[in-house]
Chains A and B, each alone.
Chain A
Amino acid sequence: MSDLVDELLAGKHGALARVITKIENRSPGYREVVSALHEHTGHAEVIGVTGSPGAGKSTLVDKVAARLRDDGHTVGVIAIDPSSPYSGGAVLGDRIRMASNAGDMDVFFRSMSARGSLGGLSTATTDAVTALDAFGKDYVIVETVGAGQNEVDIVRTADTVAVLVPPGSGDDVQMLKAGILEIGDVFVVNKADLEGADRTVQQLREMLQGRSTAGHHGVSGTEMAEVTGTPTEKGAPDETEAWEPPIVETVANRGEGVGAFLAALEDHGEYLDRTGGREQQARDRFAAAIRTLLREDANRLLAAELDRQGGIESAVDTVMARETDPYTVVDEILAPLRACLDEE
């Protein structure tokens, strides 16, 4: 087990790949591996890329990765695709777009399926980012379709979130209202050579002006000032600058606008460093991770306890027969736990 960790830290691609497999499968021992890797993390710049299907995420990520490689950086990419809810199978096709990085092992590209494990996917993604960070990747890009809370949770693992919008009838922009608008740090109108692109940019701009000043991580000025205590902000949290998300136009398949996009990402990175937002985001992420793990583990313990006390079916039987009620059932199951806690 620790062999795998050692090999990953020594830069073996196969070990990194196997660790991510363990994370995905939640194989025995994956927790110990992720735990061991944690102390080696904190160096990668994590970028989330989301947007509707066909917006051009994979193509843009490919070009961005190639540009970062030209600048001498190493890159990890996690591309998440929805899986078939019926068979559990999936065709993961994002690799098709990785043409610019063909055969370059220093772009580590990994496809992950959602595997229908609601909620668990964001944990798996966070852990996979941990593995790539510990491996020593300078940049980690997390790419996923922007459709729903699950995806929103996933991109929250990123320092900077880019939302891709294809030019269109305006319906796409309307759709963004449902949660996506709030999480974008940088907006990209891709396929900007298509008709309607200008209008889409215009609509986006209008909607962003109506956006609340709080960042997507809900970082208020006061919190940031407390954490950083930077001299310029002393006792005047109101002066904390707010981030105005830029709108970048790209034509990803021709590589146009990729430089501007990278510059926008860099601007946001500098903004995070300047305001202490990066540290606050990391704190928020770890707090969320601890809460999620606590909830999952506690749930597992409680499920086992429920089984020990006769199982859910027999509990339901008694409730059905009106011998007892759901509240009383839960009180009884939790009684030993409560007793333990009271002893403290």
Chain B
Amino acid sequence: MSVEQQDERTIRCLVAKVGLDGHDRGAHVIARALRDAGFEVIYSGLHRSPDEVVQAAVQEDVDVVGISILSGAHKTLVPRILDGLREYDAFDDRLVLVGGIVPDDDQPELRDLGVDEIFGPGASMAEMIQYIREQAPER
């Protein structure tokens, strides 16, 4: 039949720009690369609040929450997103990734809070895609 059986589930990723950071070129590149890797990408658009990111992550039932922050406000914004995800029971079965500029000193704190991985400026797309394929939680 023309309708192929979908044995392999499609991985859904949210690419979210949060806060007062207007630089979305990187997020666009990532969104496109994830699409080309066969993922479904929900792109949030610019200037999203943590609430909106949580709303999108819950409603879209994404496997991966990708937060792009270049503004330096990660220490306030990321914890609020993580709290929101926990509030809706949407934390345990989701990967939370942060991309952008996060100083080395801040990284342990974010990981302790529940961020699974942080991708800085040097990270390659192949690396990120492989990480998602390997780590996306079984449901």
Q: Is B133 an interface residue (CB 8 A)?
A: no
> Which of A17, A24, A25, A117 is close to B58, meaning CB atoms less than 8 Å apart?
A17
The chain B residue sitting closest to A111, CB to CB, is B42
Is B6 at the interface (CB under 8 A from chain A)? yes
Verify if A102 is at the interface (C-beta below 8 Å from B).
yes
User: When the two chains form their complex, are residues A27 and B44 in contact, meaning their CB atoms are under 8 A apart?
Assistant: no
- A91 touching B44, Cβ below 8 Å: no
Per a CB cutoff under 8 Å, which of B6, B38, B44, B60 touches A17? B60
Judged by a CB distance under 8 angstroms, whether B21 is at the interface is: no
Contact string against A for B residues 43-79, beta-carbon threshold 8 Å, 1 for contact and 0 otherwise:
1110011011011101111000000000000000000
Given contacts A14-B58, A95-B56, A115-B10, contact A88 B43 (CB under 8 A): no
Among B6, B41, B48, B59, point to the contact of A117 (Cβ < 8 A): B6
Distance, CA A303 to CA B4, complexed state (A): 12
| A83 contacts partner chain B, Cβ-Cβ < 8 Å | yes
Interface pair A89/B43, CB less than 8 Å apart: no
Q: Is B3 a contact of A14 with CB atoms below 8 Å?
A: no
Q: What residues on A are CB-neighbors of B31 within 8 Å? A: 91
Residues of B within 8 A of A1 (CB): none
Number of interface residues of A (CB under 8 A): 43
Q: How large is the interface on B (under 10, 10 to 19, 20 to 34, 35 or more residues)?
A: 35 or more
Contacts of A26 in B (CB 8 A): 5-6
Q: How far is the CA of A111 from the CA of B37 in the complex (A)?
A: 19
Q: Is B32 located at the chain interface by the 8 A CB criterion?
A: yes
With A89-B34, A91-B31 known to touch, is A103 a contact of B52 (CB < 8 Å)?
A: yes
Q: How far is the CA of A297 from the CA of B42 in the complex (A)?
A: 32
What 6 A-B pairs have minimum CB-CB distances, sorted nearest first?
A96-B45, A103-B51, A17-B61, A89-B35, A21-B61, A87-B38
Residues of A that sit less than 8 Å from B by CB: 12-14, 17-18, 20-21, 24-27, 83-84, 87-93, 95-97, 99, 102-105, 108-111, 113, 115-120, 296, 299-300, 303
Question: What are 15 A-B pairs with beta-carbon distances under 8 A?
Answer: A13-B88, A17-B60, A17-B61, A20-B61, A87-B36, A88-B10, A89-B36, A92-B41, A95-B42, A95-B45, A95-B56, A95-B60, A96-B45, A109-B56, A118-B3
